[in-house]
Every structure is written in structure tokens, then in C-alpha cells.
Amino acid sequence: MRTREKAALAVAGLAVAAAGGTVFAGTSGAVGPSPAPSAQAAETSCVTDGAGMCTVPHALGAVPAVVVVSANTPGQFNAYMLNTVQGSYTATTFQVRAMFNQTTPKAGGAIWFSYAAYGGQVSPPTTPTPTKTTSPTPTPTMPTSPTYPPTSETPPGGGSGAGS
């Protein structure tokens, strides 16, 4: 933050406090994935080639998963659209293309822009797949044999009747 911006922020904070408001000084911790993905943001310029493209160096040390660019035009009549070039990301550079309209590139001109490059593999959030539960299959049971009253063939006393 520049000195002028810091001074303006301090004056604004004093004005809020003088008006009976609450001034919060401090920062909150970052919220997001852990470990935090690597990121680089900068403002830069380059001169485009005949197709309106230029190569931008970055210091992520890995192929960016995402690069976001925003044109900074110096005058109202110097507007251009700015996009990243698909498939141009490397571990050290990416390409941008400046266009005046859908068919006319900003060829051989200086462009100014801001960018944010985010490293690491970005994957869509995953939803856990529900596990299919099956109820246990009942084990078939054999019917029990019915009990019959004793027959007369078995002597009372349960012996074979041979010698006593």
C-alpha cells in the first residue's frame, strides 16, 4: 500500500471514530484450502506481436491452474479486450491476447494489465459417493422334524431285552 493510500485510510478511520463509529484495525486470517495454493498477482505491460499476443513471465514455479487478467487502459479511446491464450501456460510463462473487437487484434502496441496466476492442481469439489448397503440375506432354516409319541416296538425301560 502506498504512503498516500495509508494516510487516506488513517484519516478515514479517524473520521469514523470521531463520529462515534467503531474502527477495526487488523486483519483476519485467510480462509481456504490447506496448504494454501501458490499465487502471484502483478501489474505489467508488454508490446503485442502482429496477432495481438505477448508472453508474460511469472514466478509460480509450476504451471498455473488458473490465470485471471484485467486490462488497464490509459485512455478512453485506447480500450481493448484481453484474454489468456488457451494452452499457453507453462511453469514460467503464459500468453495474453489483446483485441480491439472480435476480429481486430491490437497488433504491435503496448498493453497494460493486471493478472493473478494461481498454481497447483485445481479440481472440482468431490461429493462422497454413498456406499450401497445391503441387508443380510436370511439363511434358510430346515424345518425341525415333528416329535411323535413312542411306539410299542420300543420296550419300556429302553433296553434290548437280552439277558439280565
Q: What is the pLDDT of residues 121-143, one digit of tens each?
A: 545 555 666 666 666 666 666 66
Domains of the chain: 36-121 (2.60.40.3940)
Say whether pLDDT at 105 is over 80.
yes
Q: What are phi and psi of 117, to 5 degrees?
A: -115, 130
Q: Please name the residue that has the C-alpha cell 498454481.
A: 119
**Strand 53-57, strand 66-71: pairing:** unpaired
Q: What is the pLDDT of residues 7-50, one digit of tens each?
A: 444 444 444 444 444 444 444 455 655 666 689 999 999 999 99
Q: What is the pLDDT of residues 68-99, one digit of tens each?
A: 999 988 777 678 899 999 999 999 999 999 99
Cα-based distances in Å from 105 to 38, 87, 95, 148: 32, 19, 14, 103
**Taking the alpha carbons of 57, 59, 61, 63 in that order, is the dihedral positive or negative?**
negative
